Amino acid sequence: MDTTVIADQKSKDEFENYKKQSKWKDYHWQLKHSIKDINTFEKLTGIKFKNREKDLLEKVTAKFPLSITPYYLSLIDVENYQYDPIFLQSFPRGEEMTKTSCDMADPLDEDKDSPVPNITHRYPDRVLFLVSNTCSMYCRHCTRKRRVGDVDSIPTREEIKVGLEYIKNNSQIRDVLLSGGDPLMLSDDYLDWILSELKKIPHVEVIRIGTRVPAVLPFRITRELVDMLKKHHPIWLNTHFNHPREITKDSREALRKLADAGIPLGNQSVLLARVNDCPRIMKRLVHKLVQNRVRPYYLYQCDLSEGLSHFRTPVGKGMEIIESLIGHTSGFAVPHYVIDAPGGGGKIPIMPNYVISWSTHKVILRNYEGVITTYREPDHYKTIFCDNDCESCNLQLNLNGDSDEYKAIGIEKLLSDYDKTISLVPDENDRMERREE
Ligand SMILES: *Cc1c(COP(=O)(O)O)cnc(C)c1O
């Protein structure tokens, strides 16, 4: 970027005074003082943009709004801001206006897979429930960028009830993911109400919360909040740290409170060019996460949402990172690297190949060091042909009266013995159409 830093002592002093305020750790104060325009950003950081550049930035924020908490802003290294991962994730760039041929408004078809407003039902046994349309910080790499700043609103109880009703009426849903926006932008009472309503539904076994609050507004994790959350166990929480610099004393404190409340913590990172596209940075990040009782869960390949092209890396970069982690560090510190399939196919795990070859009685594998090894298959394995009659099977699956017929789908169906399907054929296959004629 073509900018010049002018050390503007007066405004930076103003920011230093901010930080000394007794209210700094009050999350209401943080939200009220969120930075939402370029001028305030310049004033508080002492960074000055040239007029031409500022015009472009204003255009970008008119399309994709800006919002940064004072806390997150305070983590920016003003002297080296152009390469700063905090700056890059929170501050707009002209490139966001670039529309490339692969960009899509809703690449994951979340809107198409939505049976009722605010619900995305993509997988058989779990749903995404968007309970908030607002965030404390607007990530520049947001996959739901199309919606950012639409209306910073919280769905009404009536609107939430429509989603609850859908979950109630679909007994296969055992896992509900609260997302948004950020669900922790709701008041404790409102969230308490949603969680209580979900807990009343007998088939809902677990509830998950997806939130970036521990990274961008750690003061939101209050004693009162965690005391409320732990009433509704099992609650799982996934947060979103992308760079080790985001793990500060304040965010560690937030994570400690959540973990002490017995909430299993996971982390979903996005692979972002110039932010964390480096094996050493990612290794540092996952190590810091597990030290704070957070298990790295997913590493996402950057989605094809509009305005994100400058953040995308080749898939090979993710492979390289995963290659540098598997075997080299603790197994529980390695996230699943996934591509969320454009068109709504869901998350697809990808990883380097470890199986090199195969015969009827040997599997040839390689490990992280490049050692090639042989696993000898058993000489005597009595093949079990499964007829899907679990009631009369000798294996001890305790059905507890729940004898719903088990139906395999997809590749699992091809592997099963009881389903006679031998191939899955795409629609509009010419060869199949000729057969029908
Ligand atoms: C990610 C996602 C889920 C949850 O997937 P898990 O792999 O179980 O974490 C559920 N629904 C939608 C639409 C999702 O995008």
Which CATH number is 247's domain given? 3.20.20.70
Ligand 1 site residues (CB inside 6 A) read 120, 122-123, 126, 128, 177, 347
**Annotation marks residue 293 as catalytic:** no
Instruction: Identify the pLDDT of residue 97.
Output: 94
Residues 231 and 168 reside in one and the same domain: yes
For residue 323, report the distance from its CA to the centre of ligand 1, in Å. 24
Q: How far is the CA of 123 from the centre of ligand 1 (A)?
A: 7
Residue 153 domain flag = yes
Q: Catalytic site residue 27?
A: no
pLDDT of 9 reads 62
pLDDT digits 0-9 by tens, 57-104: 999 999 999 999 999 999 999 999 999 999 999 999 999 999 888 888
pLDDT at 391: 81
Residue 194 sits in the same domain as residue 49: no
In the numeric block, the tokens 């508080």 are attached to 44
| 87 and 190 inside one domain | no
Contact 286, 329 (CB under 8 A): yes
Is residue 390 part of the annotated active site? The answer reads: no
64 plus 145 within the same structural domain: no
On whether residue 134 sits in a domain, the answer given is yes
pLDDT at 108: 86
| Same structural domain, 126 and 48 | no
User: Is residue 379, in this structure, part of any structural domain at all?
Assistant: no
Residue 411 domain flag: no
Q: Are residues 155 and 213 in the same domain?
A: yes
Please tell me the distance from the alpha carbon of residue 256 to that of residue 275, in angstroms, as a whole number.
Answer: 25
138 and 82 assigned to the same domain: no
Specify whether 316 is located in the same domain as 251. yes
Residue 399: the pLDDT is 73
Point out the residues of the chain with pLDDT beneath 50.
Answer: 1-6
Of 349, 375, 403, the one marking the end of a domain is 349
Q: Are residues 151 and 185 in the same domain?
A: yes
163 assigned to some structural domain? yes
Q: Is residue 176 part of a domain?
A: yes
User: Same structural domain for residues 212 and 276?
Assistant: yes
Residue 23 within a domain: yes
**Looking at the 3D structure of the chain, how many domains does it have?**
2
**The whole model's pTM is what?**
0.93
**Domain end among 305, 327, 349:** 349
pLDDT digits (tens, 9 = 90+) for 353-377: 999 999 999 999 999 999 999 999 9
In this structure, is residue 389 part of a structural domain? no
Tell me how far apart the alpha carbons of residues 137 and 50 are, in angstroms, rounded to a whole number: 25
Give distance in angstroms: CA of 128 to centre of ligand 1: 7
**What is the torsion angle, in degrees rounded to the nearest 10, for the CA atoms of residue 53, residue 54, residue 57 and residue 58?**
-140
142 assigned to active site:
yes
For residues 49 and 189, state if they share a domain: no
Q: Which of 94, 109, 134 is the last residue of a domain?
A: 94
Supply the range of the domain harboring residue 322. 119-349
Nearest CA to ligand 1 atom 2: 128
Atom of ligand 1 nearest to the CA of 238: 9
pLDDT for residue 3:
46
pLDDT value, residue 1: 41
- What's the sign of the alpha-carbon dihedral 56, 59, 61, 64? negative
pLDDT of residue 326: 98
Say if residue 151 is in the same domain as residue 214: yes
